[in-house]
């Protein structure tokens, strides 16, 4: 069993409270809720609604914006308890993890009051409009234009890989508002409504991209003269890069304190599978399992280190890239090894019709993307080399980091 760390009496009291709530409120359809985590669905929405009613949504946000004002340790405890109970901690997705924390740091009081509570109660569901066909790792090379027109901003351009766009009502979108400025300046961070008040599209056209899993969780997004009030620009016109850095820091490191929980659960599923296959006594299999367990434990300890930074109210900085690099490469390698463990059987679809995959196959195919989204593993290495270790900059001479 992993070593337990005593987080003090307040945390342990809170732990008991969460445990008790989960015992009483455990949904009967956990499998259905789990299966809807990525693509969404009524069971997940229902679970999210119950958590919201119990005040368990966006719990780390200040109370005046609809959160619960919990400290970093309590949030980590809550996540741990959900993990232990095998229940998904339904969240408000990118609204909660990416754009909300960026509004908290860079938004005006009016923006915080307006946008944060709409994320907490589920009114606004966000997707991320950062990547473009020629601006992925080199995010600051983006070309989508934003033109200020009176008290509005008008946005036109193309985004790609927009996860969850088909379920979103808002996009946090980067656009170039000053084409003459150096590329990291002259960018604005806009909260764009995807529909007009009359329900018609606000200049958005989505073209879903079909993935190797058979699902279409993301789209190409074409934006033609989408309008938003200037009050939807976070951090000020032409000042979006700073806000972007906060968003990317959270994307890479925001889950560092709880990352190990899902991999710990997966580890024990793999042990069960190895036993079921009669392979658990094979010394090579045991060696691989030991390798996996060690990685999960490293994630747990790295999470505790991050927790001490969270407690000190530090934003996730460049060191968050270590977290992103570590878990994503582990997930890729582990899932490939699990396919080998399962042998030829792993290549067979469980049904003879359609494209349904079992959980192992879907984990394997999904894990191939983990070293790409949120910034590739190669780019994370550059960030760690240059900004954490202080090594010389890469020859491109870019003044600030790429994605
Ligand atoms: C599953 C998934 C979901 C995604 N969801 C979203 C989303 O919701 N919103 C969004 O905006 N984007 C999203 N993305 C896009 C993602 O952020 C980009 O794919 C990623 O940043 C890489 O950009 P790129 O695909 O253009 O690759 P490129 O930047 O073209 O990179 C190609 C290759 O070159 C390497 N490379 C590039 N520059 C360097 C460098 N300086 N040093 C060393 N190597 C380098 C990269 O590591 C990579 O191997 C998603 C991607 C995936 C796979």
Is pLDDT of 1 > 60? no
The structure tokens 């009081």 sit at 109
Q: Is 240 in the pocket of ligand 1 (CB under 6 A)?
A: no
Q: What is the pLDDT of residue 64?
A: 92
Residue 347 has pLDDT above 90, yes or no: no
Residue 375 beta carbon below 6 angstroms from any ligand 1 atom: yes
**187-213 average pLDDT score:** 96
Mean per-residue pLDDT, 120-131:
96
CA 373 to ligand 1 center in whole angstroms? 6
Q: Atom 44 of ligand 1 has which residue's CA nearest to it?
A: 378
**Of the segments 166-175, 243-252, 257-266, 349-358, which one has the largest average pLDDT value?**
166-175
- Lowest mean pLDDT of 4-13, 48-57, 140-149, name the range: 4-13
Q: How far is Cα 308 from Cα 7, in angstroms, rounded to an integer?
A: 11
Q: What distance in Å separates the CA atoms of residue 281 and residue 274, rounded to the nearest whole number?
A: 9
53 is catalytic: no
- Helices marked H in 277-319: 283-311
The alpha carbon dihedral of 259, 165, 379, 307 has a sign of negative
Q: Report the nearest atom of ligand 1 relative to the CA of 130.
A: 11
126 near 99, Cβ under 8 Å? Answer: yes
Residues in the chain: 403
Chain centre distance of CA 399: 26
Residues 6 or more apart whose CB falls under 8 angstroms from that of 130 comprise: 139, 142, 159, 173, 174, 244, 403
**Residue 121 pairs with which residues in a beta bridge?**
none
Q: How confident is the model at residue 349 (pLDDT cuts 50, 70, 90)?
A: confident
**Confidence at 307, pLDDT banded by 50, 70, 90:** confident
What does the pLDDT average to over 78-102? 89
Q: Is 378 in the pocket of ligand 1 (CB under 6 A)?
A: yes
Which phi and psi angles does 139 have, rounded to 5°?
Answer: -60, -35
Query: Can you give the pLDDT at residue 325?
Result: 92
- Does residue 107 sit in helix, strand or coil? coil
> With a 6 A CB cut-off, is 323 part of the ligand 1 pocket?
no
Mutate to test the pocket of ligand 1, among 38, 94, 161, 189 (most ligand atoms within 8 A of CB): 161
Mean pLDDT, rounded, for 229-234: 98
- Give residue-wise pLDDT tens across range 251-268: 988 777 778 888 988 999
Q: 152 near 229, Cβ under 8 Å?
A: yes
* 30 HSE (CA, 13 A, CB side): 10
CA separation for the pair 381, 402 (Å, rounded): 11
Determine the distance separating the centroid of ligand 1 and the alpha carbon of 242, expressed in angstroms: 20
pLDDT(399) > 90: no
Residue 68 has pLDDT above 70, yes or no: yes
Q: Judge contact between 145 and 155, C-beta under 8 A.
A: yes
The pLDDT of residue 358 = 87
Task: Kindly report the backbone phi and psi dihedral angles of residue 337, in degrees, each rounded to the nearest multiple of 5, phi listed first.
Answer: -65, -40
Mean pLDDT of the chain: 90
Task: Give, using CA atoms, the residue closest to atom 16 of ligand 1.
Answer: 373
Among residues 65, 52, 57, 70, the alpha carbon closest in space to that of 15 is found at 70
Q: Residue 5: its pLDDT value, please? A: 66
User: Which position has the higher pLDDT, 220 or 30?
Assistant: 220
Please name the residue that has the structure tokens 């509005």.
Answer: 152
Q: Report the 10 Å Cβ neighbour count for 218.
A: 23
Q: Does pTM top 0.85 for this prediction?
A: yes
pLDDT at residue 398 is higher than 70: no
Q: Which structure tokens are listed for 275? A: 């036993």
| 215 Cβ inside 6 Å of ligand 1 | no
Percentages helix, strand, coil for the chain, rounded to the nearest 5?
50, 15, 35
Dist. CA 121–CA 125, nearest whole Å: 10
Ligand 1 centroid to residue 178 C-alpha, Å? 24
Domains of the chain: 9-91 (no CATH), 125-240 (2.40.110.10), 255-315+317-388 (1.20.140.10)
């Amino acid at each position: 069993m992993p070593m337990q760390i005593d987080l003090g009496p307040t945390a342990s009291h809170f732990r008991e409270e969460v445990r008790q709530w989960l015992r009483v409120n455990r949904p009967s359809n956990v499998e259905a809720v789990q299966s809807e985590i990525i693509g969404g669905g009524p069971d997940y929405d229902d679970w999210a609604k119950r958590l919201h009613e119990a005040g368990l949504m966006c719990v780390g946000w200040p109370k005046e914006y609809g959160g619960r004002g919990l400290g970093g340790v309590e949030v980590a405890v809550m996540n741990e308890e959900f993990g232990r109970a095998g229940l998904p901690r339904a969240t408000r997705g990118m609204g909660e993890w990416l754009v909300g924390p960026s509004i908290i740091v860079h938004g005006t009081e009016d923006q915080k009051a307006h946008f944060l509570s709409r994320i907490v109660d589920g009114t606004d569901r966000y997707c991320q409009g950062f990547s473009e066909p020629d601006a992925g790792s080199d995010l600051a090379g983006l070309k989508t234009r934003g033109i200020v027109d009176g008290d509005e901003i008008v946005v036109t351009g193309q985004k790609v890989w927009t996860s969850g766009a088909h379920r979103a009502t808002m996009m946090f979108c980067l656009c170039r508002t000053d084409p003459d400025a150096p590329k990291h300046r002259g960018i604005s961070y806009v909260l764009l409504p995807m529909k007009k008040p009359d329900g018609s599209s606000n200049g958005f056209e989505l073209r879903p991209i079909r993935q190797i899993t058979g699902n279409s969780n993301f789209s190409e997004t074409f934006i033609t003269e989408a309008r938003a009030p200037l009050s939807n620009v976070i951090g000020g016109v032409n000042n979006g890069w700073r806000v972007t850095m906060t968003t990317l820091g959270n994307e890479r490191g925001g889950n560092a304190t709880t990352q190990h929980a899902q991999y710990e659960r997966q580890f024990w599923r793999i042990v069960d599978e190895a036993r079921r296959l009669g392979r658990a006594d094979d010394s090579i299999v045991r060696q691989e399992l030991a390798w996996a367990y060690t990685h999960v434990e490293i994630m747990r300890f790295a999470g505790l280190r991050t927790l001490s930074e969270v407690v000190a109210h530090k934003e996730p900085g460049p060191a968050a890239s270590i977290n992103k690099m570590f878990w994503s490469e582990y997930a890729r390698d582990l899932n490939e090894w699990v396919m080998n463990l399962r042998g030829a059987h792993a290549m067979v679809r469980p049904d003879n019709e359609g494209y349904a995959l079992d959980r192992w196959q879907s984990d394997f195919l999904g894990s191939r993307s983990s070293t790409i989204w949120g910034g590739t593993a190669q780019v994370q290495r550059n960030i760690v080399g240059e900004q954490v270790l202080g090594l010389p900059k890469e020859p491109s001479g870019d003044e600030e980091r790429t994605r």
